[in-house]
Structure 1
């Protein structure tokens, strides 16, 4: 089998990849479906923000516990159980919409359940991948999953828009439920050893162990701290200021903003294909340089928001983002013990995501009080400076790949986690 698809040589990875692809494809329309479902109940953006915030807060609250559970229990089983919870919560929303009995408070409650479920799925997903494939195909496995993810980011909203406008948001949720129903038995075909016994279960003791693993690696907490700032800028400058400029500047326009986002997605998609065969020898060095490229579309968005220029810059930023994404996953999976990987990943997710709601609020306030070009130029400078400053940490700059020979024992240990 060629290097590009070498990970498919592992039976467990093939079944996991199929299940994950199904849920990513059917779930790619969930954000749009949920947004229009809430607006169908009450056409008030404030009500929509309540629902989205409920999902995010619930995810943040439970993600550390999700990491502990994913390290203690069979990860495929954790994922399957969460899919059952998702079927019940999203299915309930669909039923309420079909019957015309949905209310915003109920949607907030169900979104909270869905957010908590996601908090358990994500660390389990991160921890299971090294168990499914060989060390020498770890990068290809991550790139293949990223390929599907980026493809559905491009196509999912289009399909969702068609479903929502033709048959309503409830049917989009039915499609998502169907995806989980198919994925559960497919995941049952993944056969892994049971977790190794690690003494008496203690949630807080396990969290302390995970924190010790996290804090003992300077490359890890340095980049997580950097992303606390970078994600706040991204969600605020790109997610709030970007649509505002698109709506109010005819040089860009709403349709033009769609092209910009698509160009970014195409950049991500193209880089996943490259990384299926091109080894990343210095995953963190090149990854953080790639992340710094996002400063370019930010500057152009503020100073010269012309569709072609911003889209071209967004395409380059998408390339850089995927270099980091695959490099980061590989670095984590090669350097963190398999039986602690989900817990360490949960600390990564908590640190990276916890300030995103603050970023949204801050930029919503800034854009009403300052010139958008000034805000975005300053944001771009801070973003690039923070990303490149991580390269001053020796462990970030120097980190290379773990050779398959030296990594075999660690992966075998992880397979028993």
Structure 2
């Protein structure tokens, strides 16, 4: 059983960390707005978080391959607990200064750049190859549940005790996660420079890029995720509530989001049992379902059908994400896994703010429904395009498709 193995401490640490991370955006938004009274301050603080995360991701991948990943996770979560604790102290004591909170947000964003590659890379060190998909399915199901519950819990805490205290709770969560990660078994550094070679992290970054480009099955899928995030996240977050609210009221959007979350959870549970022979082919075909909600939005379908497509889209996102993570962990050399993961993360995350910035002007020019429809079409094409590459279609797991 996975939760009776060393994976248990990682799972619990990740759960605590994810819950805090899901709560923080809501708590931070209300806390900064209450302290400053200026929405512009909130935008600056959020940019201070995202900027270093993107800028340092490749370096974080190199560190995740150069140092023991347990060490990276412990240090990063201790640092995150410290920065969040200081943000909470500043807000609770009434000493808010934009430069101070922005600087702490910058430090916190930098730490997350080292966390995500190490988290992805450590899973194969904790479970047997046969259990990788089940481990990723369990993590995906938990992440989906946390993304649903986290903002709700944060909202209740903000109302009950204020945003500052909610952020303090997040700080405690990061420290608890560091303790749990510290209980993981000690493993040597995945990658050690050969004798006589001068250590250099940027050289490691370049070598990671070389490995990534050489993986004929990996870079087409990573580029597809770049396009998908470009045309999906911004339009869905911005046009979704706008168009749905205009047609069916604000409550309808909540129903749609809830059904999407249910789809994510259901498919995560199914993938815990289902093992596919060719994971990338299965993941790309299932991932195309994610285009459905945008197409339904663009066609002006009523809430019932939009919710149905959102449910199917959640299924597609879960299947594609779980198979992708499992393929990386199973087929990328352990010594380069964090670096390859960081390149994949950078491509995915960098596309999101671009799409968020572009969707408003595009909707003003051609109309929100038209933009949503074309974004859905591009999404579907991008999801299926990697199947044109034979290495993507034929990459195999070690087991035949079955349910166990």
Shift of 1:246: 4.0
Pair 1:84 & 2:82 matched: no
Q: Name the counterpart of 1:201.
A: 199
Counting matched residue pairs gives 396
Distance 1:347 1:217 in 2: 12
Gaps of 5+ in 1: 1-5, 405-417
Distance 1:246 1:36 in 2: 25
Shift of 1:9: 4.2
Structure 2 counterpart of 1:260, from 256, 260, 264: 256
Distance 1:145 1:269 in 2: 11
Q: Name the counterpart of 2:349.
A: 353
Q: Name the counterpart of 2:163.
A: 169
Pair 1:99 & 2:97 matched: no
Query: C-alpha offsets along residues 171-209 of structure 1, whole Å, 9 cap, x if unaligned?
Result: 211211121222222222111322263334211221121
Q: Name the counterpart of 2:286.
A: 290
Asked if 2 retains the 8 angstrom alpha-carbon contact of 1:27 and 1:179, the reply is no
Asked if 2 retains the 8 angstrom alpha-carbon contact of 1:154 and 1:266, the reply is no
Runs of at least 4 residues of structure 1 off by over 4 A?
Answer: none
Pair 1:233 & 2:226 matched: no
Q: Name the counterpart of 2:211.
A: 213
Q: Name the counterpart of 2:20.
A: 26
Asked if 2 retains the 8 angstrom alpha-carbon contact of 1:7 and 1:134, the reply is no
Q: Name the counterpart of 1:59.
A: 53
SS in 2 for 1:130: helix
Gaps of 5+ in 2: none
| TM-score (normalizing by structure 2) | 0.94
Pair 1:328 & 2:308 matched: no
Distance 1:243 1:48 in 2: 21
Asked if 1 retains the 8 angstrom alpha-carbon contact of 2:284 and 2:387, the reply is yes
Query: C-alpha offsets along residues 229-250 of structure 1, whole Å, 9 cap, x if unaligned?
Result: 1101112211222233244x04
Distance 2:274 2:399 in 1: 16
Structure 1 counterpart of 2:312, from 297, 306, 316: 316
Shift of 1:403: 6.0
Q: Name the counterpart of 1:187.
A: 181
Distance 2:100 2:243 in 1: 33
Distance 1:329-1:215 versus aligned 2 partners, 3 A rule: same
Q: Name the counterpart of 1:378.
A: 374
| TM-score (normalizing by structure 1) | 0.91
Distance 2:102 2:32 in 1: 10
SS in 2 for 1:24: helix
Distance 1:403 1:285 in 2: 14
Shift of 1:341: 0.4
Mean CA deviation greater in 238-247 or 201-210: 238-247
Q: Name the counterpart of 1:8.
A: 3
Q: Name the counterpart of 2:388.
A: 392
Pair 1:130 & 2:124 matched: yes
Distance 1:220 1:369 in 2: 36
Shift of 1:358: 1.2
